[in-house]
């Protein structure tokens, strides 16, 4: 949940570090700080955003060729100057930044306190730093060995970057459970939670794995395991361009990413879906096709928006493939003692590929013999790398905290996956298969058409920006979209919103309905349409405000609803990829109307790498 950046080489370190932190702010922005090595340590840190730190330290001595930086999402200790990273050890010789949680920090802190250590912050990071220093001083060993010894005692998740005044060009890094990428330059090295801080400098990167430790000098990268055995760094070539992480003329990353969806969905389908030939080429599925065909059950594990994609996949896979599907919140799945049978397939869905709950959930499942299939957006991420097979959503870097283009990418991959398995299992007719391929192929163009009416959504958003609550209702394939629409509105506008199956209203929630309550129906033309019209009438009878996402040509609902959003006609299995678009726009424009920082909403971070 935090962003970390490091640089060592001939360039000035500070500009690289501070720019890298701005690109990683989506991971957390409660406080920020930098540590620079140059004839000793220079540490600047404070509560607040990177830009506030930058203004505060403007004009100070920022010269250095080796530095680290951190942007925090608070776990232990409230957001404050003293809890901001980097932390400095008792001797003043070490500085460290950390992303993760040290679960046994209290015990370590007690041991150090008993030895006379005092602490300036409430963080687990400062405890780990002084634990490392104490080992180095008492064992008379070098810092690298002290880090190894300390990390063997630590339980929890971490990425740490460590500076030592005794080695002014070296950064020591280690990871377990939180992401770390090292960029390999010409006589220089870059470190980051993802590749965005290094994109303009190098495309050659090393993804550090769990329990690995890196000693990083300008012209040398040594990788070792905690047993002090050298590991050959595996260099991957990045295919992301800097432009992909800039705003490209849009006011916010979220709006840019909503409008990118025609091309990102196209990119997701490209090279895989061939509607003319009637083929879907997905090597991750193909290589595991026997497991999918024989699967007694598919368990889907995810969080947040990715969980909504999993729920929609349940409806589609059960309908097309006739394989039982269970959808689990990763945070629940990992702590209860789930029954996992041999032959079960676990499908992990994650945009970041670093969500701690999802990552640990599949690690546990893997230990129990399950096959893991990962549907991930970030190439080379932890979930992608521990999966037995998978498929990338190819949505490109998603910087806005709200997941939009990654969500529709997930739906496109999951629909292709269901169609491919159904075809192999012969549980779908050739005619319906071909029809759905054509429908899927047409999605980018239909999304583009919806986006052309974004102005209509903006006007409607203005009407409802002062609502205190909202309900989102849908049936069948549109029920997961109702949940997703509610989550978007909550996280982007801070309006309390709930999603429900439309028929559930009469079992209690309808008591909420009055003339102030906006009720958003996802009511596209499908096999549930007649029923949902009745549900709309139930709301209208109680003076509720009705906003409906409907199919072009629907001549029933416009006469009933207060406001409507139109989407082009599509098969009910495909329609959710369309009906979610107006709801993304609705949350964006309501958030803007309310003055919310829609790219970085309060309390949130893009990648939840803590439990
Ligand atoms: C989505 O808009 C939210 N930001 C959040 O629910 C997110 O979907 C969730 O944290 C899961 O993230 P992941 O897809 O990267 O695993």
> For residue 581, how far is its CA from the centre of ligand 1 (angstroms)?
17
> For residue 97, how far is its CA from the centre of ligand 1 (angstroms)?
24
Of 279-283, 289-293, 433-437, where does the model show the most confidence? 433-437
> For residue 295, how far is its CA from the centre of ligand 1 (angstroms)?
27
> DSSP string covering 280-323, please?
E--HHHHTTHHHHHH-S-EEEEE-HHHHHHHHHHHHHHHHHH--
> For residue 509, how far is its CA from the centre of ligand 1 (angstroms)?
26
Q: In what order do the strands lie in the sheet with 545-551?
A: 496-501, 469-474, 518-522, 545-551, 563-567
β-pairing, 31-37 vs 66-72, is: antiparallel
C-alpha radius of gyration, the chain, whole number = 25
Structure tokens at 559: 């006469």
- In this structure, what DSSP letter does residue 260 have? T
The pLDDT of residue 192: 96
pLDDT in tens, 338-369: 888 878 899 999 999 999 999 999 988 888 88
**List of domains in the chain:** 3-244 (3.60.20.10), 249-441 (3.40.50.10490), 452-599 (3.40.50.10490)
What mean pLDDT is predicted for residues 74-97? 90
Residues touching ligand 1 (Cβ under 6 Å) are: 303-306, 350-352, 355, 358, 401-403, 491, 607-608
Mutate to test the pocket of ligand 1, among 73, 304, 610 (most ligand atoms within 8 A of CB): 304
In this predicted structure, the answer to whether residue 259 has a pLDDT above a threshold of 80 is: yes
Active-site pick, 2, 268, 303, 321: 2
> For residue 524, how far is its CA from the centre of ligand 1 (angstroms)?
26
Binning pLDDT at 50, 70 and 90, where does residue 171 land? very high
Task: Tell me the three state secondary structure of residue 97.
Answer: strand
What mean pLDDT is predicted for residues 61-84? 88
Residue 557 exposure: Cα atoms within 13 Å on the Cβ side: 28
The pLDDT of residue 29: 76
pLDDT in tens, 234-251: 999 988 777 767 777 788
> For residue 520, how far is its CA from the centre of ligand 1 (angstroms)?
22
> For residue 554, how far is its CA from the centre of ligand 1 (angstroms)?
33
488 Cα nearest atom in ligand 1: 2
Check: CB of residue 333 under 8 Å from CB of residue 306: no
Structure tokens at 487: 């989550």
What mean pLDDT is predicted for residues 306-335? 96
The pLDDT of residue 179: 87
Q: How many CB atoms are closer than 10 A to CB 155? A: 11
Q: What is the pTM of this model?
A: 0.78
β-pairing, 204-207 vs 189-192, is: unpaired
Structure tokens at 403: 């997941």
Mutate to test the pocket of ligand 1, among 73, 306, 587 (most ligand atoms within 8 A of CB): 306
The pLDDT of residue 75: 67
303 Cα nearest atom in ligand 1: 11
> For residue 352, how far is its CA from the centre of ligand 1 (angstroms)?
8
What mean pLDDT is predicted for residues 155-174? 95
The pLDDT of residue 1: 64
Q: Is 268 a residue of the active site?
A: no
> DSSP string covering 486-533, please?
HHHHHHHH--EEEEEEGGGGGGTGGGG-STT-EEEEE--SSTTHHHHH
Beta-carbon contacts of residue 26 (< 8 Å; ≥ 6 apart):
3, 253, 399, 400, 401, 599, 600, 605, 606, 607
607 Cα nearest atom in ligand 1: 15
Question: CA-CA distance, 453 to 465, in Å (whole number)?
Answer: 19
The pLDDT of residue 337: 85
Among the residue ranges 161-165, 266-270, 418-422, 473-477, the one predicted with the least confidence is 266-270
604 Cα nearest atom in ligand 1: 4
In this predicted structure, the answer to whether residue 555 has a pLDDT above a threshold of 90 is: yes
Question: CA-CA distance, 68 to 21, in Å (whole number)?
Answer: 10
Tell me which H or E stretch contains 211. none
Task: Tell me the three state secondary structure of residue 177.
Answer: strand
Mutate to test the pocket of ligand 1, among 401, 403, 484, 580 (most ligand atoms within 8 A of CB): 403
**CA-based torsion, 345, 346, 349, 352: positive or negative:** negative
Helices (H) and strands (E) in the chain, counts: 20, 27
608 Cα nearest atom in ligand 1: 10
Give the residue whose CA is nearest to atom 4 of ligand 1: 402
305 Cα nearest atom in ligand 1: 8
In this predicted structure, the answer to whether residue 526 has a pLDDT above a threshold of 70 is: yes
Residue 558 exposure: Cα atoms within 13 Å on the Cβ side: 7
pLDDT in tens, 107-129: 999 999 999 999 999 999 999 99
Q: Is 606 a residue of the active site?
A: yes
**CA-based torsion, 120, 123, 127, 133: positive or negative:** negative
Mutate to test the pocket of ligand 1, among 28, 334, 351 (most ligand atoms within 8 A of CB): 351
The pLDDT of residue 605: 74
Structure tokens at 499: 């999603």
- Alpha helix segments (H runs only) across 8-91: 13-24, 50-56
In this predicted structure, the answer to whether residue 608 has a pLDDT above a threshold of 80 is: no
406 Cα nearest atom in ligand 1: 14
């Amino acid at each position: 949940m935090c962003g970390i950046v490091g640089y060592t080489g001939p360039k000035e370190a500070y500009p690289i570090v501070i720019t890298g932190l701005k690109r990683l702010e989506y991971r957390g922005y409660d406080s920020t700080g930098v540590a620079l090595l140059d004839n000793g340590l220079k540490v600047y840190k404070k509560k607040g955003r990177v830009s506030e730190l930058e203004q505060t330290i403007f004009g100070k001595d920022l010269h250095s060729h080796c530095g680290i930086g951190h942007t925090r999402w608070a776990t232990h200790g409230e957001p404050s100057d003293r809890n901001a990273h980097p932390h400095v050890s008792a001797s003043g010789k070490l500085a460290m930044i950390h992303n993760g949680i040290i679960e046994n920090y209290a015990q370590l802190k007690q041991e150090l306190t008993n030895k006379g250590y005092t602490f300036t912050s409430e963080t687990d990071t400062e405890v780990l730093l002084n634990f490392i220093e104490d080992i180095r001083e008492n064992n008379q060993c070098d810092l690298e060995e002290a880090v190894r010894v300390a990390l063997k005692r630590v339980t929890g998740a971490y990425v740490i970057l460590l500076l030592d005044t005794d080695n002014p060009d070296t950064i020591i890094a280690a990871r377990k459970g939180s992401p770390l990428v090292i960029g390999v330059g010409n006589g220089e090295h870059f470190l980051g939670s993802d590749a965005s801080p290094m994109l303009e400098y190098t495309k050659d990167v090393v993804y550090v794995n769990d329990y690995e430790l890196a000693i990083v000098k300008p012209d040398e990268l040594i990788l070792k395991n905690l047993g002090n055995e050298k590991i050959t760094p595996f260099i991957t070539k990045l295919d992301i361009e800097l432009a992909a992480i800039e705003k490209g003329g849009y006011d916010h990353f979220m709006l840019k990413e909503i409008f990118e969806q025609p091309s990102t969905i196209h990119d997701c389908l490209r090279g895989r879906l061939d509607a003319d030939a009637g083929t879907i080429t997905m090597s991750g599925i193909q290589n595991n096709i026997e497991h999918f065909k024989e699967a007694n059950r598919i368990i889907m594990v995810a969080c947040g928006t990715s969980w909504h994609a999993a729920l929609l996949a349940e409806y589609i896979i059960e309908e097309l493939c006739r394989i039982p599907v269970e959808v689990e919140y990763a945070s629940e799945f990992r702590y209860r003692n789930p029954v996992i049978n041999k032959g079960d397939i676990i499908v992990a869905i994650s945009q970041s590929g670093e969500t701690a709950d999802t990552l640990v959930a599949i690690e546990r499942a893997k230990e129990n013999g399950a096959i893991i299939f990962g549907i991930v957006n970030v190439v080379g991420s932890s979930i992608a790398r521990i999966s037995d097979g998978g498929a990338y959503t190819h949505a490109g870097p998603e910087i806005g905290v709200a997941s939009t283009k990654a969500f529709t990418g997930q739906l496109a991959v999951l629909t292709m996956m269901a169609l491919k398995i159904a075809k192999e299992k012969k549980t779908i007719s050739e005619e319906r298969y071909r029809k759905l391929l054509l429908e899927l192929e047409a999605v980018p163009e239909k999304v583009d058409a919806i986006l052309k009416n974004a102005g209509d959504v903006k006007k409607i958003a203005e009407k409802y920006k002062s609502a205190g609550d909202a309900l989102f209702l849908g049936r069948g394939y549109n029920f997961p979209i109702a949940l997703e629409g509610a989550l978007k509105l909550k996280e982007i506008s801070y309006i309390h919103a709930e999603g429900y199956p439309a028929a559930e209203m009469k079992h209690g929630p309808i008591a909420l309905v009055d003339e102030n309550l906006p009720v958003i129906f996802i009511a596209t033309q499908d096999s549930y349409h007649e029923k949902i019209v009745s549900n709309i009438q139930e709301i209208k009878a109680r003076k509720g405000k009705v906003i409906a996402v409907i199919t072009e040509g629907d001549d029933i609902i416009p006469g009933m609803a207060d406001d409507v959003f139109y989407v082009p006609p599509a098969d009910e299995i495909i329609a959710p990829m369309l009906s979610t678009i107006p709801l993304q726009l609705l949350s964006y424009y309501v958030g803007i109307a309310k003055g919310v920082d829609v790219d970085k909403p309060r309390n949130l971070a893009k990648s939840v790498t803590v439990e």
